Structure 1
Amino acid sequence: MILHISSPDEWAADQERGEIRPDSLDAVGFVHCSDPGSVHLPANLFYAGRTDLLLLVVDPAGLPVKWEPGDPEHPTGVWFPHVYGPIPVESVVRVLDFPPGDDGVLRLPATF
């Protein structure tokens, strides 16, 4: 499974449209995703302080996924799954609340 960070409003719009197609798809050509071991990295880099996030659990079967380094590259060399095209909402198998911990840090939910 791969993970995509979203807001409730974005997820509602995606469901209405039938696909996950954030602005990043148009700007960089892919939908940003992570794996369970790395989702905390972009979460805390780009979404620090947010308390309204969701974590969409996506089944990557049949999706055009390419594993690539982040931009900028992470010091550990971790790569991320980028989906080169929209993600059908049917590929989302679970939606989890993604709140920060008491310390304000975003981590993979224990319910994952």
Structure 2
Amino acid sequence: MLYRIARPADWAAAQHTSFFASPDLAAEGFIHASELSQVLDTARKHYQNSPDAVLLEIDEAALATAQVRVEREWAESRQAYFPHIFAPIPLSAVARSWPFPVDEAGRAALPKDLG
């Protein structure tokens, strides 16, 4: 599974279009995603003061079935590989979603059923 922290407006738009897309897709050509172990650090670095954020769990096999390319690419600034999704994400590939409030300091907690 892959994970994406979604801004409320992007998640709301997905409910109408049946595809999740975010500004990074238009700006960089891919949607930034994280492995589960990277989610909290991503929240801290990029989603401070996002009380209405949503955490999406994305089924990588479903993306492959939908012919959506995923590549893990090196992020020099984070010294780690991160999954990049090279097309809008069909909602059929979003296995689960949770409210994911991120406080002013970037602190968040993973949903209990993610451990």
* TM-score in terms of structure 1 length: 0.85
Q: Does 1:55 align with 2:51?
A: no
SS in 1 for 2:96: strand
Instruction: Output aligned runs, 1:1-112, within 5 Å.
Output: 1-61=1-61, 62=64, 63-70=68-75, 72-74=76-78, 77-100=79-102, 105-112=107-114
**Structure 1 segments unaligned to the other structure (5+ residues):** none
SS in 2 for 1:57: strand
Aligned CA distance change for structure 1 residues 78 and 13 (closer, same or farther; 3 Å): same
AA of the residue aligned to 1:64: R
Name whichever structure is richer in helix by fraction.
Answer: 2
How many pairs were matched up? 108
Contact preservation (8 Å) 1:39, 1:107: no
AA of the residue aligned to 1:45: K
Aligned CA distance change for structure 1 residues 12 and 78 (closer, same or farther; 3 Å): same
Tell me the CA shift for residue 104 of structure 1.
5.6
Describe the superposition over 1:66-90 as per-residue Cα deviations: whole angstroms up to 9, x where unpaired: 00122x521xx22110001111111
Contact preservation (8 Å) 2:54, 2:97: yes
* 2: CA distance, partners of 1:18 / 1:104: 29
